[in-house]
Amino acid sequence: MKIPFLKPALVMGSALILASCGSGSPKIVSTPIANIDSIPLKITDLSETQLKGWGGADLMTDTIPGMSVEKAYSEIIKNNKGQKTIVAVIDSGVDIEHEDLDGVIWTNSDEIPGNGKDDDNNGYIDDMHGWNFLGDAVEENLEYTRIYKRLKPKYEGKTASSISTADRAEFIYYQEAKEEYEKEYEETVQNRNQYEQIKKQLVAAHQAVSSQLGKENYTKEELNKMEASGQMAQYKGMLQQIQNNVNENIPEALEELDEGIEYYANRLETHFNLELDGRAPVGDDPYDITDTDYGNANVMGPSEDKEDLKHGTHVAGIIAAERNNNMGINGVANNAEIMVLRAVPDGDEYDKDIALAIRYAVDNGAKVINTSFGKYFSPNPEWVTEAIRYAEKNDVLIVNAGGNEGLNLDENTVYPNDQNPEAPQEIADNFLTVGALNYDYGAQLVADFSNYGKTNVDVFAPGTKIWSTTPNNEYEYLQGTSMAAPAVAGVAAIIRSFYPKLSAAQVKQVIMDSGLTTNADVIVGGDRNNTQDFKELSTSGKMVNLYNALILASQTK
């Protein structure tokens, strides 16, 4: 559905003059952003500068559905800084030497570096910046691959009628994992083969046309003007499709194809490889929660090129990359420290690692935990559930990515989550699940990949094409609910910094209640035939907005 042109803006009430209620908090003389359905749609493409910073843009002034971060800094936060807030990033690891992150990495002041002792008696030796629960492990299976592989010797060839009552539930779980494995394995093989076939055809077309035009880097205009017949006309048509839909620069399009082929090939070698024992370098029993003496203090892991740190480094930058240091990007939070917990391999995370990482974060001072990962099979969800409740008991907020399959999470279970499988209520009030927004304000407001759900997703935040830190002092666009969650974690860190007396549950509620909503119908799951009321896609029905959140936090007792 196309959203109609919208009327001039309306604002709510008169200016609010509010005294601060937290240490170092700014005094707020501001009016909340209200009726966004009154603004016109943006009809021009974003410039490179706008795209790189769109997550912090203001919908009212920029017509870009960001979180009004820059507006909040210019009008409310200014140069104020509250308490230091530790944000734990449970992820693939973080490049703690990055130029835009090295000044915001948490340091355990109670630990003496490199002495081989547990100086602070927290159970972890030399944990200066967090903990690496993966040790030297990098490559790993997906969870359903592990389940299928582990239970295959017991159940292969068996039928339901031959299974004892005691084993019935496990047998069904095995069958579900096997079915998912076989389906995803076959799709991955098909995708790899399709990419290889396209590349073969594209290389032939490119070589022929390059020879006729006398150059490798020809433009759309040059290709359109080229006379062609027979086989050459077919080559021209294929290249025109690539230029219009993938990349005008054909050599770059070929590089992108190679990346796709490599991606699917790597998945076959790791995610679906029944012979891979990805846990072997760790040396623990991942199915024994009492086996906790494992891992090491090297939060950057074993890879020299740091490539496997890309995801975690990108997440950390969104939250807290150093602001106004004349390089890179500005993170959302200006007074946060990143605690690094390496627990997500190249494959699915283990429930034990996640549960212990959450407990480490809680015990060592984190007030916000970011969990930008997820899976649809979980052998021991109770361990993670208990850790979430432990965080709740100790007043720690968990900000969680909703997932990237375009699914309704009210009908599909993803882990981790805060849902009670036997009752409608949540297991805890400190768990905030985030869906992803697109920068295109209108019918495509929700990212086509984003999961959603009136009960199981709480809010939406920027998650499409987000510019942030990547290893080795580089920056890159990545996208996913993995990028939306840290944007909200940054908002939570600012609120906890300026208003430390607010509980985790209150901060969650402030973020949900203060967001912006729209009455528009939006495309869901990338399916143009599936449009739904934006307000029905999450519990709050809102987009996170830092500016409004600070105003509401200042009013919350």
Tens digits of per-residue pLDDT, 179-229?
A: 999 999 999 999 999 999 999 999 999 999 999 999 999 999 999 999 999
What's the length of the chain?
557
The model's pLDDT over 99-148, given as tens digits with 9 standing for 90+, comes to 999 999 999 999 999 999 999 999 999 999 999 999 999 999 999 999 99
Complete DSSP assignment for 360-406: HHHHTT-SEEEE---BS--S-HHHHHHHHHHHHHTT-EEEEE--SS-
What is the average pLDDT across 510-518?
97
Whether 387 and 524 map to the same domain: the answer is: yes
The answer to whether residue 122 sits within a structural domain is yes
Whether residue 3 is predicted with pLDDT greater than 60 in this model: the reply is: no
Whether 315 and 396 map to the same domain: the answer is: yes
The answer to whether residue 14 sits within a structural domain is no
Q: Is residue 87 exposed (0-12), middle (13-18) or buried (19+ Cβ within 10 Å)?
A: buried
The answer to whether residue 16 sits within a structural domain is no
Whether 299 and 388 map to the same domain: the answer is: yes
Annotated catalytic residue 58: no
Whether 111 and 59 map to the same domain: the answer is: yes
CB 431 within 8 A of CB 454: no
Of residues 354, 185, 377, the one with CA closest to residue 286: 354
Q: Is residue 225 exposed (0-12), middle (13-18) or buried (19+ Cβ within 10 Å)?
A: exposed
pLDDT at res. 29:
61
The answer to whether residue 27 sits within a structural domain is no
Whether 122 and 154 map to the same domain: the answer is: no
pTM above 0.95, yes or no: no
What is the average pLDDT across 24-44?
75
Annotated catalytic residue 91: yes
The answer to whether residue 286 sits within a structural domain is no
Whether residue 11 is predicted with pLDDT greater than 50 in this model: the reply is: no
Annotated catalytic residue 482: yes
**Sign of torsion, CA 262 266 271 273?**
positive
Whether residue 546 is predicted with pLDDT greater than 50 in this model: the reply is: yes
Percent of the chain, pLDDT > 70?
Answer: 95
Instruction: Quote the CA–CA distance of 109 and 119 in Å, as a whole number.
Output: 10
Measured CA to CA in angstroms, residue 20 lies from 77, 101, 328 at distances of 11, 29, 32
Whether 366 and 497 map to the same domain: the answer is: yes
pLDDT band at 21 (very low <50, low <70, confident <90, very high): very low
CB 140 within 8 A of CB 347: yes
CB 304 within 8 A of CB 173: no
Letter for the amino acid at 474?
E
Whether 94 and 171 map to the same domain: the answer is: no
**């984190």: which residue's tokens?**
366
The answer to whether residue 30 sits within a structural domain is no
Number of Cβ within 10 Å of residue 74's Cβ equals 11
pLDDT at res. 334:
96
CB 457 within 8 A of CB 406: no
- 168 contacts: CB under 8 Å, gap ≥ 6: 160
pLDDT band at 439 (very low <50, low <70, confident <90, very high): very high
Instruction: Quote the CA–CA distance of 446 and 456 in Å, as a whole number.
Output: 16
Mean pLDDT of the chain: 93
Whether 133 and 154 map to the same domain: the answer is: no
pLDDT at res. 32:
82
CB 147 within 8 A of CB 174: yes
Whether 198 and 302 map to the same domain: the answer is: no
CB 298 within 8 A of CB 132: yes
Whether 129 and 266 map to the same domain: the answer is: no
Helix (H, G, I), strand (E, B) or coil at 257: helix
Whether residue 168 is predicted with pLDDT greater than 80 in this model: the reply is: yes
Q: What is the domain count for the chain?
A: 2
Instruction: Quote the CA–CA distance of 257 and 200 in Å, as a whole number.
Output: 10
CA atoms within 13 A on the CB side of 70: 17
Helix residue ranges, H only, 73-112:
none
**């050459």: which residue's tokens?**
232
pLDDT at res. 16:
36
pLDDT at res. 310:
97
Q: Which residues pair with 30 in a beta bridge?
A: 16
What is the average pLDDT across 255-270?
96
What is the average pLDDT across 346-374?
98
Whether residue 176 is predicted with pLDDT greater than 80 in this model: the reply is: yes
The answer to whether residue 26 sits within a structural domain is no
Rounded to the nearest 10 degrees, how much is the dihedral formed by the CA atoms of 135, 140, 142, 144? -90
pLDDT at res. 15:
34
Q: Which residues of 117-129 are buried (b: 16+ CB within 10 A; e: fewer)?
A: eeeeeeebbbbbb
CATH of the domain at 348: 3.40.50.200
Whether 105 and 181 map to the same domain: the answer is: no
Instruction: Quote the CA–CA distance of 189 and 166 in Å, as a whole number.
Output: 36
CB 448 within 8 A of CB 526: yes
Instruction: Quote the CA–CA distance of 317 and 529 in Å, as a whole number.
Output: 36
Strands 28-30 and 16-18: antiparallel
Whether residue 262 is predicted with pLDDT greater than 70 in this model: the reply is: yes
- 347 contacts: CB under 8 Å, gap ≥ 6: 139, 140, 141, 142, 270, 271, 278
**Phi, psi of 416, deg, nearest 5:** -75, 160
pLDDT at res. 43:
73
Q: Identify which has the larger pLDDT, 6 or 511.
A: 511
pLDDT at res. 554:
95
The answer to whether residue 10 sits within a structural domain is no
Selecting among 98, 129, 271, 311, the annotated active-site residue is 311
Whether residue 414 is predicted with pLDDT greater than 50 in this model: the reply is: yes
Selecting among 378, 482, 497, 514, the annotated active-site residue is 482
Number of Cβ within 10 Å of residue 296's Cβ equals 19
Selecting among 58, 62, 91, 95, the annotated active-site residue is 91
Measured CA to CA in angstroms, residue 153 lies from 148, 168, 392 at distances of 9, 16, 40
Instruction: Quote the CA–CA distance of 183 and 201 in Å, as a whole number.
Output: 27
pLDDT at res. 24:
67
Instruction: Quote the CA–CA distance of 56 and 417 in Å, as a whole number.
Output: 27
Whether 353 and 387 map to the same domain: the answer is: yes
List the domain range (segments joined by +) for residue 426: 54-139+295-554
Whether residue 335 is predicted with pLDDT greater than 50 in this model: the reply is: yes
Measured CA to CA in angstroms, residue 316 lies from 57, 128, 155, 372, 439 at distances of 19, 17, 43, 11, 21
